[in-house]
Amino acid sequence: METYNYKEFKERGINVNFVQDNQSKSKKGVLRGLHYQKKHPQGKLFRVIKGEVFDVAVDLRKESKTYGKWVGVILSENNKKQLYIPKGFAHGFLVLSESAEFVYKCDEFYHPEDEGGLIWNDVIIGIGWPKVDEIILSEKDKVNPKFEDL
């Protein structure tokens, strides 16, 4: 399976130079995010190689006509879908299967001191997260600010 081809992505308007690949594994109910980089924004290409997640992007570009809007898609090892999230978006995901392994490419190096967050259940954004028995959040993600406070 070919998972990335620069020429094909460029033909579809995604002309980026990826500089870093990452992989994470989480169990059912883990919700990570919503995360973004402030001064060093990253474009990212996400896919799931094991399990199933609900993957979300929120537009934080103030000049955009979709500012404050979100999009979500199921990514799984079975559907083999990928989601490209451009610079200027917050990202989060919820694990729907017993566990999931997630891989993603970044077009900018990660700067830990530059990370920002947005609370996952912000009422203004109104993300329609799928129902799971329990949402598991990191301590950091429990205290992310509201959209109106960014």
Active site residue ranges:
35, 104
In the chain, helix, strand, coil percent, each to 5? 10, 40, 50
Q: Please name the residues in contact with 133: beta carbons below 8 A apart, sequence gap of 6 or more.
A: 28, 29
What DSSP state is assigned to residue 79? Answer: T
Contacts of 104 (CB under 8 A, 6+ apart): 21, 22, 23, 44, 45, 46, 47
Q: Is the peptide bond before 31 cis (omega within 30 degrees of 0)?
A: no
Distance CA 140, CA 131 (A): 22
